[in-house]
Amino acid sequence: MSVKLYMDVHVRRAVTDGLRLRAVDVLTAQEDDAAEFEDDALLDRATELDRILFSQDDDLLREANKRQRTGEHFAGVIYAHPLNITVGRCIDDLELIAKATELNEWLSNVIYLPLS
């Protein structure tokens, strides 16, 4: 079974489109009418939907790190700084994560792209 991804509003459309072409289950915050959500509410929404949140927003990364420190449960976050990864590499790494892992591996975890 693969994991489903939830895309923050800061993610380039090309990443979402590329993942969909590779049959990865992706939902964007915009499609979910959550584009105006604050970071904490967006992370709650992804968790509610059992989706790992992918973001390129430093503020959302801070929210996930805060939750790790306080022990507050969330579905998981994947973070990539937009200047440190290409669209193609981002798609490759996210596809691998989506198809080769299970949701329970992500609970309250944060991972950074690019993968080594």
Claim: this prediction has a pTM higher than 0.75: yes
Contact call for residues 108 and 52 (beta carbons, < 8 A): no
d(CA 72, CA 15): 29
Q: From first to last of its 116 residues, what are the pLDDT tens digits of the chain?
A: 689 999 999 999 999 999 999 999 999 999 999 999 999 999 999 999 999 999 999 999 999 999 999 999 999 999 999 899 999 999 999 999 999 999 999 999 999 999 98
d(CA 43, CA 63): 8
Spell 9-29 as b/e; 16+ CB within 10 A means b.
bebeeebbebbeeeebebbbb
